Amino acid sequence: MTPALLELQDLGFSWPGQPELLDIPSFRLEADQSLFLKGPSGSGKTTLLGLIGGVQKAKRGQVRLLGTDLGALPAGARDRFRVDHTGYIFQQFNLLPFLSVAENVHLPCHFSALRSNRAKARHGSVEQAAAHLLMHLGLSAELLERRADSLSIGQQQRVAAARALIGQPELVIADEPTSALDTDSRKAFIQLLFDECRAAGASLLFVSHDQSLAPLFDRHLSLAELNRAARPAEI
Ligand SMILES: Nc1ncnc2c1ncn2[C@@H]1O[C@H](COP(=O)(O)OP(=O)(O)OP(=O)(O)O)[C@@H](O)[C@H]1O
């Protein structure tokens, strides 16, 4: 079988002093796929994304991204691998408020030579790559030099998406990025995200408890379907 973009095998995790939260026998995400993963609050979605990103370490089992077992890498190498190959859109966006919009989008390229080189190869420079993405995501050029914290929530969300996409990571992970938006804005944002992921050849793993978004994706799953440690109320 060809290696998946992302593969989980016998993954187990618990927070200190708590019962097992995740027990996932197997899961695959293929390249160029968009997956909607739903689950109620507290079911472990963010924890799972932390394991996939290598922020948390699994108690047992494997997380393989592009065929590499993240748990087998030393911490520094794991961080580099994460920034090279994954882009994150966080629930609260996590923009650096004192930096400009453009500087926020450039950030992954400071930490990843691979992404910086890809951005330059495609757009001539990191700056042009950021401007291109922001324009495609619907932000006007005059906002580029504004401080990130002076933007509206919807605008900050687009900056967070551009930051995740710059330099074409193979996997874009989005953790409830639309919870602050109304239904129409959510769907419009997701459509933009699909378009940009497709243009960059990235797979999208999108986590939310808003079921109405599920049909927009290639594939949708409930975390409880994967997780043998799910509590009965989550199934
Ligand atoms: N840093 C942490 N330390 C200890 N326990 C944690 C930590 N982060 C999460 N947990 C616990 O793990 C469980 C799952 O939390 P998690 O944030 O992964 O759920 P979630 O499905 O993403 O929830 P939400 O939809 O509300 O964001 C919760 O019981 C939470 O209290």
Write out the two tokens for 60: 């047992």
Give the 3-state secondary structure percentages of the chain, helix then strand then coil, rounded to 5: 45, 20, 35
pLDDT of residue 96: 93
State whether the beta carbon of 19 lies less than 6 angstroms from ligand 1.
no
Cβ 111 under 6 angstroms from ligand 1: no
Q: Can you name the CATH fold of 6-96+167-234?
A: Rossmann fold (3.40.50)
Check if the beta carbon of residue 50 is closer than 8 Å to that of residue 41: no
pLDDT at 85: 95
What does the pLDDT read at residue 191? 87
- Ligand 1 neighbourhood includes 39 CB (under 6 angstroms): yes
Query: Which residue out of 23, 45, 178, 222 has the highest number of ligand 1 atoms within 8 Å of its CB and is therefore the one to mutate?
Result: 45
Query: In a mutational test of the pocket of ligand 1, which residue from 11, 18, 47, 48 has the highest number of ligand atoms less than 8 Å from its CB?
Result: 47
The pTM of this model reads 0.91
Q: Where are the domains of the chain?
A: 6-96+167-234
- Each residue's pLDDT, cut to its tens digit, for the chain (235 residues) gives 667 899 999 999 999 999 999 999 999 999 989 999 998 889 999 999 999 987 888 999 999 999 999 988 998 899 999 999 999 998 778 899 999 999 999 999 999 999 999 999 999 999 999 999 999 888 888 999 999 999 988 899 899 999 999 999 999 999 987 777 777 778 888 888 888 888 888 999 999 888 888 888 999 999 999 999 987 666 5
Distances (CA, A) of 125 to 122, 171, 203: 8, 22, 24
